[in-house]
Each structure stands twice: as structure tokens, then as C-alpha cells.
Amino acid sequence: MGIESGVSSLLRRTDGVVRSDWRTRGRGTAAPSAVRVRLVAVPLPGPDTRWRCRQCGNLTRFDVTRRTRAREYVHVDLAGEALVEEREVSEDVVEHVTCRWCSAVDAVEVVPRPAPSVP
């Protein structure tokens, strides 16, 4: 069983959330010296929370891998140009969040937003 087939079997989940996932950095097959990283699902921040990297303190730049399932109404004109006029999202799952500054994979957490300052 190759690394690709092993990873694809780990990605299949029935509850829609990837809780933990092991992948190998780099390309090709896994070598004995290959680095393995663990991916853990991170919840989306709400109106009173935000993401923060525990490793470097970043609050603004993240790479987000998400899986979206949607139904779209597409209008194609006679020239062949397609335009999505309606979109209904039935599933939107954030699989993992990576810090853009330090590339930390499992260090992003949800923290409370600071209270707004009143003059």
C-alpha cells in the first residue's frame, strides 16, 4: 500500500470533520527520514473569537483548507459564458488551519477577541 492510498483512506470520514490526519511533507514516497505532521480540525472563529497561532502569536494570516459541498444554479448564456446566480451551501468544513508566518500546522487556536475600546 503506497502513501497516497494510505492518506486517502485517512481522509474519509463519516461525520464530516477530520479530527486527526497524518501526512508526509515533501513529494514522492515516504522515506525513513520523512517528516510527519499531524493535522487537527480547528473550529471557525465567531463574532467574539478569533484565530491565534500559539507558536508565533500571528492573528491575521492563515492558510485554511476546507471542504465545501454546494448546490448552484448556473445560467449559461448563448455564447457559453457561465454565471452562478444562486448558491446553497449544504456543508462547509474547515479541515485544518496553518499559520502563514511560521508554517505551524497544529498550533492555531481560537481565542476571545479583545473588548472594544470606548472613548
Strands (E), the chain: 21-24, 36-39, 49-53, 62-76, 82-99, 108-112
The answer to whether 37 touches 20, Cβ cutoff 8 Å, is: no
Rounded to two decimals, the pTM is 0.55
Q: Does pLDDT of 21 surpass 50?
A: no
d(CA 41, CA 25): 18
- Check residues 73 and 7 and name the one with the higher pLDDT: 73
Paired strand residues for 24? 36
Which residue did the predictor score with more confidence, 13 or 85? 85
Degrees to nearest 5, angle at CA 105 with 116 and 61? 40
pLDDT value of residue 118: 78
Pair 18, 11: CB distance under 8 Å: yes
pLDDT of residue 15: 40
Q: How many CA atoms lie within 13 A of 113 on its CB side?
A: 10
Residue 28 has a pLDDT of: 46
Cα 98 to the chain's mean position, in Å? Answer: 8
